[in-house]
Amino acid sequence: MAPTIAITGSASGIGAAIAELYASKGYNLVLSDSVASLLESTTAVIKSKFPSVGILSQQTDVTKVADILKLKDAALDRFSSIDVVVLNAGIHGNYRMSEEQGGWWGNPEGIREIFDVNMFGIVNGIHAFLPSLKEKAKSGETTRLIVTGSKQGITNPPGNPCYNASKAAIRFMAEQLSYELNATSVKVHLLVPGWTYTGITGAMSGMYNDDVAAKKPSGAWTPDQVATYMDQGISNGDFYIICPDNETTTDMDKVRMEWTMGDIVHNRQPLSRWRPEYKEQFAAFQSSKDK
């Protein structure tokens, strides 16, 4: 029997790329997204490319526990078991108000929406799918739970603070879950994309295609590159799957993350990397790591 992968946020971007990659491996697909029209078109494209692959496609609002439980139940009814779950659904948020209206902090409802999707969507997904993954893992088979985070949840750059906070929460939850499941055959992975040309970063929604590729900035990766890098990280047994891009190398990411943690260790002001008074210190730190 073919293995099964369930992916939230799979109508476009990284989720759609992961779906296509695993379809090429012969997996059954459980696809879900809140945007029904995009989900329908993406499902049709994948079906046309991989006609022998079993596909369940269901509109799902990850902020609603009942929705994601229905998705899990439908997946088990169709395919009997689930081997891999990718909790990928997320939004960047459009909640900033004018400075007179409070700026980043002037729209509590918009902030709540970000946490409902980015954080509680993950909580709901874990609640729905983890029991099935644990049950299958009892037989000794490895099952996997993959959570899509963000570098903004690690280095916390200025701007969009509540998106950063929601992704930081995801990181901590995934770390805790990995520790909790250490003695089981359920493996947890944190996927951290670099700059990737998706709907969140300005690309058109839907499947990545030649029209979208023509507009991609040279520094950004494609969703396919992220999916392939994730798959390699899983093969390596990595928990942290931190993707580079065409501008930022893995070594550059490591330097930035180390400096960020140093704010706490050395009692610097927070977000020191972007503060003018620390500019020379950070430049010297970078230079020391290049040697």
- In the predicted structure, residue 211 carries a pLDDT above the cut 70: no
- Each residue of 99-151: pLDDT tens digit? 999 999 999 999 999 999 999 999 999 999 999 999 999 999 999 999 999 99
- Beta strands, E only, 10-117: 28-33, 55-59, 84-87
Query: What average pLDDT score do residues 36-57 get?
Result: 96
Checking if the pLDDT of 207 tops 80, the result is no
d(CA 211, CA 179): 43
C-alpha span between 199 and 135 (Å, rounded): 35
pLDDT value, residue 7: 98
Q: Is the pTM of this model over 0.85?
A: yes
Give the burial string for 28-42 (b: 16+ CB within 10 Å, else e). bbbbbbbbeebbebb
**Whether the predicted pLDDT of 85 surpasses 90:** yes
Neighbouring residues of 119: CB distance < 8 A, sequence distance ≥ 6: 166, 169, 170, 173
Helix (H) / strand (E) element for 188: namely strand 186-192
Does the pLDDT value for residue 72 go beyond 90?
yes
Q: pLDDT class for 250, splitting at 50, 70, 90?
A: very high
Q: What is the pLDDT of residue 212?
A: 67
